[in-house]
Amino acid sequence: MRTKATALVMLFFLSLLVPMAPAVQAQEVEDVVILDTAINPANNHTYHLLSESSWTVAAEVAKGLDGFLVTVDDEAENQWLFDTFASFDNQSRHLWTGLYDSDNDGAYRWHNGAPFYYRNWGADQPSASDDEGYVHIASTNMGNIMPGTWNDLENDPQYFPVYGVVEVGPGADYSLRFADDGDRIEIDHTDALNITESLSLSAWIHPFNQDGIQFISMKGDYGWGMYLNGGTLAYASEYSLSQHPTANTTVPADQWTHVEIDVIQGVGGQFRINGLAAGEIIAEQALIPAGDFGSNDCFTSGDDCDELYIGSMGAGCECNYFQGMLDNITVGTNLSSIGSEVTWVSNWTFPEGEGMLTNDDINNANGTIYGADWVMPDGTIVAQVIQLYNNEEVNGITGQAGDNLLFFAELDEMTKMAYFNLYPTEFKDEEITIDVYFGNNRIPSSWDNDGSIEAFWGYAWEQISWPDAGGWWVLLVPQTDIADYAMTVSWEVADPPPSEDDMTKLNNGIPVTGQTIDVGRQADFEDRVLYYYVDVEENLSSLTVSTYAGSGNIDIGLSWGTVPDPFDFWFIEEPFATDDSEDNNPNQGKIVYDSGQGNNQDATLYDVEPGRYYVTAYTYQRAIDFTIVATMTFAPDNTAPEDAVELTPGVAYGPLTGYDGLDQYFKIQVPTGTERLEVDLSEGYGEATMFMRLEQFPTSGEFDLQSSTPGAGDKIGFNDPTPGTWYILLTTEDVFANILITASFEDRYIWTYDGTPIELFNGEEINGLEAPAGESLLFFVELENPGSYLEVNTYGGQGKLQLEGSGSVIDFDFGGFFPEDDGFAEGRQGRPMDGLTTSEVQVDSFGDGTEHTLFINMPANGRFDITLTVFDEISDVSIIAVWEDSQMPPIDPIDPDEDETIEIFCEDQARDVFEATDANGNGVIEEREFDDDGVSFDNIDLNDDGEIEFREALQEICSCENEILIIASQLSPFGEGLTLKEFSQLDLKNAYDTKGIDLNKDGFLDAEELEIISLVCETTFDAFDGDGDGVPDKDDAFPEDPDESKDTDGDGVGDNADLAPSVANDLIYGSIGLVGFIVLTLLVLFGVGALRGPQSSSSTNEWEEMKQQDIASQMLGMEEANPMTTQPSASVDELYGQNMPTGGAEVFSQQPTLVTSVPSMDVFTDLLESNEAPSTAPPQQLMGMLDATGAEVLEYPAGSGTMWTRSSPTEGWHQR
């Protein structure tokens, strides 16, 4: 194979030198050469364009080039392939892809084994031919197959060459997704995993997040392994996680990353991320633990605990699970140095793609998968099929957005009704959408199915009448994450039909008269029916059974297989039926009913195959002398383009019947000088579409003109038709019946417009619209009553346009009967509107060119304005408006200028919600009283005490988001909102930038602006900080004073206002009083001295000096004194230790002495000392549990509440 590949590469270089000449179809591998090579910048894959060959030869060459025939993953890759190779060397080339179904018709798969998801089939492809099992990309038009689309061919087509495209790379790659706790792989120990001297670990990882500790792999019980710690790659080198070495670079979330760790025992190691060094492992941390630690669980259980774990921590701890996808995990040894060649001993690439076992690519080991899901590298789940049994519930259905969840059931022959039901096991108060696809005897997809429905809010229900027997597949594709869903599929097998003796045969076109059912009201159901049958011997366009004449009321049912049973059918009884009900819907399957007042009923089946069909005529009252007849409409002769029926100008042709899949062709010869050609469908009912093309057969993909009028009344008209043969294709994706087709030559139609709005009437089209680019045409509709819908369509002609509609639609309101998910009632003070109201809307159309649709659901009565804006000049465009009245009465308009009044604020709301939830009235909300799936109890219970106090509820409800939404809910949808001044004056808990939230700068804040602000605002309110000073009330000495929070000296005065924050004010005031007394005493002494007369200078100086020294000593506390405690309010006697003397001589004969003691600091030391005796540390051999940081934690003694911790078993315990 290497020799062959080398030869092919040489041929490639030769091909660059020698121009390639057209060659005959190559049939041998040796004949194939490489014509071109290109690299797709989107995926960096290399692609080779091969010379022409069969598909199988090209596939063999692809493998020789270490690749496969191309796998087309998406539209962008398909377009790149077409642009790069389909016209290489200015030659049109059809391109082989790797898609084929030759092994199993209809079960397509790619050459590399990848699941078949993306598709780009051409019109009417793939074909039903058994020998066309290989798919190519068309380079040119192939009939109705457009360039760039796919077509299936035989292996070796002889009518044109096809060129293989090789995509170099491996085959289908599967990964495993670990999403839930418990998801892991356990691998039994082998001798190859006895690694001691050197270790090399690597893996491809795709973490969903960077949260916590997530183990990629671990050996045994606290053995070697690698993991992420907060997104950082780490190596498990010993028991304590806190001692593990880590990389210096984090691993990004939500993308694939290659991680490697090399370790040489006692020498060192290295981390590598995507091939780049990401940190070193020092020699002291370069350990390779065997994984035989002997943790409590392993010791108690007696297990060996020597398994290799992938996706979890290991045998010693059921914890720290990986959250993401893993692939290609390898274990090696025999490193001579860091980064040197490795001997790989274990490699896990997960090639199986299904099952609960995965195998080691190197040795015979296998691993058991617990919970992890098989996925493709992009995260798309590889569907694991679950069989459904009749009326048995399948529960526990869980998946992520975009997953493919596959189920199947085997339906019995003669199953008359199948029911599908999908629902959550618990009510979900969030919007959940799930796409559901059905397929018979094949796996369905979004592009290839036998029916589909969409589950809104997670609920879906469907019924299928007369489903084909065999395998039915159900594919669920959730658009949002789902959990704990359940599904049931049930089916009913029909009873065999009555014997021919109990039925009447109906022959084509022959009425059976004199039919009567005349029984009393108390008669059994079986007495209220008459049975008939019709034998169909060839394919029919339609089979109709009709009743008419007579009196009373008869209803009929027509079905294949057995007689219809109207009394066992979910069916609206006759009092509620209408004469114009359209029950003839082929989408109901092989059964149809028609009911209504009187005896005139028609039940029709379309695209009827040969077989016996059964009719039940029944009544709830009586039916006298009615007639019944069967009418067969045979397949038309003009189903092939070459058999087109030529129409005579001005003469109607018909009646015509059609159904999905039936094409009918017509033609009209247009002579020179014809001013206008019109082709018109009239009469009849259903849905029909026409395509026209000059001189060529039209298809739904290739045409010159198309009609798009809703219903069966289509019309194509245009001026100055080119002379020649115009072909007409009449088709439908539904059904139509009893229509007439007329081609006519008319006078030239000239469109004029004066700018006045034109009224559109229900179902009446206006043709021939013309306008230059940049002009706008104005239309309007007037609805007398609210409508179920209003639809405006433009079609035909040429140009480019856009529709815009403006008017009022119905809004439903239930007066606060349904509370919002958060417990708040909507509207102003709940909901101010009663029942029904209206709101103004503007709606844009969707479509392309001149074919646009403007759809309004539930339009209100009144005027709806439609503006047609022209982008490119339009001509011969038609416009039509269609609506259906609802049963609702007209609604009076609401005054948009009503005043805005805000009466409910978040604290009011919080009190109401708290009182309503606190069922037992004990002042707290317990978890059993809490019933709100939208909010977690733990998120509100901020102190984790198992109860919600009012402040905790207030904190949640008065968050800025909820506070703003409470205000917004009280604003009228019709008013301008609050002025900025009004908003600033509201008593709001949080701070808001008033000007900044006026998004449209109109000076008002409406509900829409407030709802937007609620998404980006920041909560400043703190329910636990009553005065808003930033200090929680529990730590705030003055919880109601925003200027004070501390009282250091405990005197009742805040530090900010305190003269001396560290000294009690009483002491200060006492000291001031004492000083004041001393000063007063001195003044008195000075006064007495002055009265006694002058003294000698010596005597005076000595006194002054002695007095000053004494006072200074006393004030500075330098004088020794007997211990005593002085109260701030002590009397003068107490301060001096004796009564104040009254005689002046006695006063001067003794020195005034103030004795003051400072309290001993021992009392404060005693207060700081703990009264508890020190606890005794646990024995070192006791083992604890690991916390999230990797430290070991132990409660000792047991039940004491005293917690001890250590970071390593070699350390002693210390109290936490």
Q: How far apart are the first and last CA of the chain?
A: 68
75's tokens? 């539209």
Look up residue 283 and give its DSSP letter.
G
- Distance separating alpha carbons of residues 663 and 79, to the nearest angstrom: 31
Q: Do residues 768 and 717 lie in contact, with contact meaning Cβ atoms separated by under 8 Å?
A: yes
The per-residue pLDDT for range 722-762, each reduced to its tens digit, is: 999 999 999 998 888 889 999 999 998 888 888 899 999 99
- Distance separating alpha carbons of residues 321 and 211, to the nearest angstrom: 11
Read off φ and ψ for residue 913, nearest 5 degrees: -65, -40
| Choices 2.60.120.380, 3.30.559.30, 3.40.1800.10, 3.20.20.370: CATH for 501-632 | 2.60.120.380
Give the residue from 1039, 968, 960 showing the smallest Cα distance to 992: 960
Which CATH superfamily includes the segment(s) 2-168? Mannose-Binding Protein A, subunit A (3.10.100.10)
Q: Do residues 329 and 261 lie in contact, with contact meaning Cβ atoms separated by under 8 Å?
A: no
The CA–CA distances, whole Å, from 231 to 234, 246, 274, 703, 1149 equal 9, 10, 15, 58, 88
Which amino acid, residue 552? Answer: G
- Distance separating alpha carbons of residues 866 and 778, to the nearest angstrom: 6
Which amino acid, residue 252? Answer: P
Give the residue from 773, 765, 775 showing the smallest Cα distance to 800: 773
Q: At what angle do helices 950-957 and 906-917 cross, to 10 degrees?
A: 130
> Residue 176's beta-bridge partner residues?
326, 374
The confidence score (pLDDT) of residue 1064 equals: 55
SS3 content of the chain, % helix, strand, coil (to 5): 15, 35, 50
Domain boundaries, the chain: 2-168, 175-372, 386-493, 501-632, 636-749, 906-1016, 1065-1158, 1170-1216
The per-residue pLDDT for range 160-177, each reduced to its tens digit, is: 999 999 998 766 678 998
Alpha carbons within 13 angstroms on the beta-carbon side of residue 67 total 22
Look up residue 282 and give its DSSP letter.
-
3-class DSSP assignment, residue 273: strand
- Distance separating alpha carbons of residues 275 and 293, to the nearest angstrom: 32
Q: Do residues 256 and 377 lie in contact, with contact meaning Cβ atoms separated by under 8 Å?
A: yes
The confidence score (pLDDT) of residue 59 equals: 92
> Residue 415's beta-bridge partner residues?
493
Residues of the chain with pLDDT under 50: 1-26, 570-588, 814-834, 896-897, 1093-1174
Q: How far is CA 618 from the centre of its chain?
A: 49
Domains 2-168 and 501-632 share a fold: no
Read off φ and ψ for residue 843, nearest 5 degrees: -125, 135
For 315-339, letters b (16+ CB in 10 Å) and e give: bbbeebbbbbbbbbbbbbbebeebe
CATH architecture observed for domain 906-1016? Orthogonal Bundle (1.10)
Which pairs with CB-CB distance under 8 Å and at least 24 residues apart come from 152-157?
152/101, 152/125, 152/126, 152/127, 153/55, 155/54, 155/55, 155/56, 155/102, 156/25, 156/27, 156/54, 156/55, 156/56
Give the residue from 106, 107, 68, 114 showing the smallest Cα distance to 375: 114
- Distance separating alpha carbons of residues 864 and 859, to the nearest angstrom: 8
Q: Do residues 707 and 739 lie in contact, with contact meaning Cβ atoms separated by under 8 Å?
A: no
CATH architecture observed for domain 175-372? Sandwich (2.60)
- Distance separating alpha carbons of residues 64 and 8, to the nearest angstrom: 9
Query: What fold, for 386-493?
Result: Jelly Rolls (2.60.120)
538's tokens? 């060839």
CATH class of 636-749: mainly beta
